[in-house]
Amino acid sequence: MCGIIGVCSGPEKKFSTGEIVYKGLLRLEYRGYDSAGVASVEEGTLRVLKGKGKIAELEKKLGLSKVKGSVVIGHTRWATHGAPSDVNAHPHTDCTGRIAIVHNGIIENYRELKEELVRKGHVFKSETDTEVVAHLIEEFYRSGDKPYEAFKKAISMIKGSFAILAVFADAPSMIFFAKKDSPLVIGLGDGMNLVASDIPALLEYTRRVITLRDGWVGFITKDNVFIEELGKGPVNPADYVRVVEWSLESASKGGYQHFMLKEIHEQPRALLDTLYGLRSDPALKEAAEILAEARRIFITAAGTSYHAGLHFALTVARITGVLVTPFIASEYESYSRVVREGDVLIAVSQSGETMDTLKAARAFKERGARLIAVSNIIDSAIPRESDLPLYTRAGPEIGVAATKTFTTQTLLLSLLAVELAATRGDLLKSEYEEYVGELAKSSEYASKSLAWNEGVAKKVSEMLRLKHSIYYLSRGIGLPTAMEGALKIKEIAYLHAEAYPAGESKHGPIALVEEGFPVVFVVPRDQYYEKLILGNIQEMKARGAWVVGVAPEDTSLRDLFDVFIKVPASSWITTPITHTPPLQLLAYYTSTLKGYDPDKPRNLAKTVTVE
């Protein structure tokens, strides 16, 4: 979803405010990239530059970074209301052109508000829901309120989700902010303060941040932060300052052509960091105890995180006697109905801000369930609302397609499953030690899997770039990985891809298979499943399929594959960690060979803060 940033700096400023906002927008571009713009207050006048297109193109055309002024705000858009266009790009202004706002989220009651404002004579320029906020502020300001009062009154009238920044030509040292259900973080700099949708936009200037909570409004100046909870009173900012560990380097490409490729190759490090983080955190054992006492366990998430959730459900089913119900977050209503006290929901979200997952979590909590969150972002919305947060330590993931966050999620969730089984007494000591030992080697396994397959992935991609459709088939514990492989290539290479349980393929999907049709088999290291998959491979080959096998180095099936993608012979429990990296590489190289930008796939945004 959209990215926003603002900076307040004094005349003695070290950095140019225009450049800070421009660079910040580039770092936030993963959140949306159909249009962008900036607004600055320069010598008592408001200047707005905006348009349709990518940020770097707009920089060439408009010179976004050249704006001066002690306050500058910026926005990069992922369209919801109104198509991507120059006029729908943010910032939006009021009728006088002296108030500008940027917004991430959705104003649900904008139609009613707009009708009323139009009746009062306001003239709207765009089709967005956002513009209504600029006119609302103007309405209060015109009737005599000071800028902050006018801003607050406008905020109290809007419904929906929002992270909003506003600037006034008449308040040239202040940026006003408000937050509900969309992320917003303040960065405390040296002689300046910043506010942005996400931490990577701030890292070049500070690591001291305040993650804003829902219902908070306030303003920043170059050396002051004022926060209050709407209708409740002031909040002491000092109580919420924390220092983030992420380095600037971790949020830049570091020599790779794309963030996605860098993040694929960061997996060994991310897995190690996650493992060490969990070892020193008692939360994993606490979570296992909560789960062991649960009446029923549900796990929910969206997209890639859902695949990690599915891996957890399958793992728990295999090593304990407990059934875990996985469900797609946006479908929560069908599941929350049956929830009662004693139930536990695990909500998995790398960003911690996905609206569908947040809504599912809230619905379960309202009905008395306990909530365990799994996220990569400390203090983000879902962990904050949970009874117990668990964190992966993958570092910032900027590529829109999830990569290292998936493998680290599956590591965390596998360890949780093993702890749960141990807490319940379902495992022998030797079994427990074997699983934990295998999971401890995750980094090494991912490292081998990447090193062995870069070249093969490039070769297979040469073929896949010419195809229109592809199947990913597997069984049992391999299925979430097959689903993840299909999602990845669909997202960034725009290749129609579907994942099926291999046994199901003969009940319909096989109808599409003809000479040269690509089928990727994800073969977990498990004799029972290998035997079943053997039959499925033969069915596909008999119809001319071109079979790519992602299988352990000691597989008995290698002679059947047209291409063998070899992965380490580890335990079944590490299947997502050994088998996913080559599938990510396949998607990456197919995308780049087709001339696409895998970091910014069309129609997608990294953190989906709308339902």
Q: Is 427 in the site for ligand F6R (CB under 6 A)?
A: no
Q: Identify which of residues 309 and 476 has a Cβ nearer to ligand F6R in the complex.
A: 309
Count of alpha carbons within 13 Å of 321, Cβ hemisphere only?
3
Kindly state whether residue 267 participates in binding ligand F6R, applying the rule CB under 6 A.
no
DSSP SS3 for 363: helix
Q: Catalytic site residue 2?
A: yes
Q: Of 2, 114, 222, 365, which is the active-site residue?
A: 2
As a whole number of angstroms, the distance between CA 374 and CA 344 comes to 13
Active site residue 95: no
Residue with Cβ nearer ligand F6R (305 or 590): 305
How many residues touch ligand F6R (CB under 6 A)? 15
CA within 13 Å, CB half, 125: 17
| 147 versus 352: smaller Cβ distance to ligand F6R | 352
Residues belonging to the chain: 611
**In sequence order, which residues have a C-beta less than 8 Å from that of residue 152 and are 6 or more positions away?**
217, 230
Helix (H, G, I), strand (E, B) or coil at 197: coil
Q: Is the Cβ of residue 27 or residue 92 nearer to ligand F6R in the bound state?
A: 27
Q: Which residue is nearest to ligand F6R (CB)?
A: 303
DSSP sequence for 375-429: ESSTT-HHHHHSSEEEE-------SSS--HHHHHHHHHHHHHHHHHHHHHT-S-H
Closer to ligand F6R at the Cβ: 329 or 565? 329
Catalytic residue chosen out of the listed positions 23, 490, 600, 606? 606
Nearest distance from C-beta of residue 27 to ligand F6R, angstroms: 17
Q: How many CB atoms lie within 10 A of CB 536?
A: 23
> Which of 153-161, 290-298, 349-357, 532-540 is the region at the interface with ligand F6R (rule: CB under 6 A)?
349-357
Minimal distance, residue 386 CB to ligand F6R, in Å: 14
Cα gap 606→352, rounded to integer Å = 11
Contact of 185 with 179, CB cutoff 8 Å: no
Residues pairing with 160 in the sheet: 107
C-alpha dihedral sign at 365, 367, 369, 370: positive
| Least Cβ distance, residue 351 to ligand F6R (angstroms) | 3
Nearer to ligand F6R, 221 or 250 (CB): 250
Q: Taking CB under 6 A as the rule, does residue 607 contact ligand F6R?
A: yes
| x/- map, 396-425, ligand F6R, by CB under 6 A | -----xx-----------------------
Q: Would you call the peptide bond into 91 cis, given omega within 30 degrees of 0 as the criterion? A: yes
Alpha-carbon torsion, ordered 497, 502, 506, 511, to 10 deg:
20
Cβ-proximal residues to 175 (8 Å cutoff; 6+ apart), any chain:
6, 7, 8, 71, 73, 165, 166, 167, 195, 219, 220
Q: Are strands 208-211 and 160-168 parallel, antiparallel or unpaired?
A: unpaired
Between the two ends of the chain, the Cα-to-Cα distance in Å is: 11
For the segment 145-184, give every residue that binds ligand F6R (CB under 6 A): none
Select the residue interacting with ligand F6R from 130, 320, 336, 357 (CB under 6 A). 357
Instruction: Return the number of the residue (65 or 351) whose C-beta is nearest ligand F6R.
Output: 351
Minimum separation from the CB atom of position 359 to ligand F6R (A):
12
CB of 394 to ligand F6R, least distance (A): 11
For residues 252 and 269, give the distance between their C-alpha atoms in angstroms, rounded to a whole number: 16
Q: Output DSSP code: residue 191.
A: S
Tell me the closest approach of the beta carbon of residue 531 to ligand F6R, in angstroms.
32
Nearer to ligand F6R, 383 or 518 (CB): 383
User: Which of 130, 350, 453, 555 is in the footprint of ligand F6R by CB under 6 A?
Assistant: 350
Please report how close the Cβ of residue 374 comes to ligand F6R at its closest, in angstroms: 9
3-state secondary structure 38-91: EEEEECCEEEEEEEECCHHHHHHHHCHHHCCCCEEEEEEECCCCCCCCCCCCCC
Q: What character string, x for contact with ligand F6R (CB under 6 A) and - otherwise, covers 309-328?
A: --------------------
Under rule CB under 6 A, residue 104 binds ligand F6R: no
Binding to ligand F6R by residue 379, rule CB under 6 A? Answer: no
Question: What character string, x for contact with ligand F6R (CB under 6 A) and - otherwise, covers 273-312?
Answer: -----------------------------xxxx-------
Query: Can residue 349 be called a binding residue for ligand F6R (CB under 6 A)?
Result: yes
Task: Tell the smallest beta-carbon distance from residue 186 to ligand F6R (Å).
Answer: 22
Minimum separation from the CB atom of position 49 to ligand F6R (A): 30
Q: With respect to ligand F6R, which residue has the nearer C-beta, 70 or 305? A: 305
Residue 35, token pair as written in the block: 């249009």
34 vs 56, 65, 279, CA distance in Å?
12, 18, 42
Residues lying near ligand F6R in the complex (CB under 6 A) are found at 302-305, 349-351, 354, 357, 401-402, 487, 491, 607-608
Which residues belong to the active site?
Answer: 2, 606
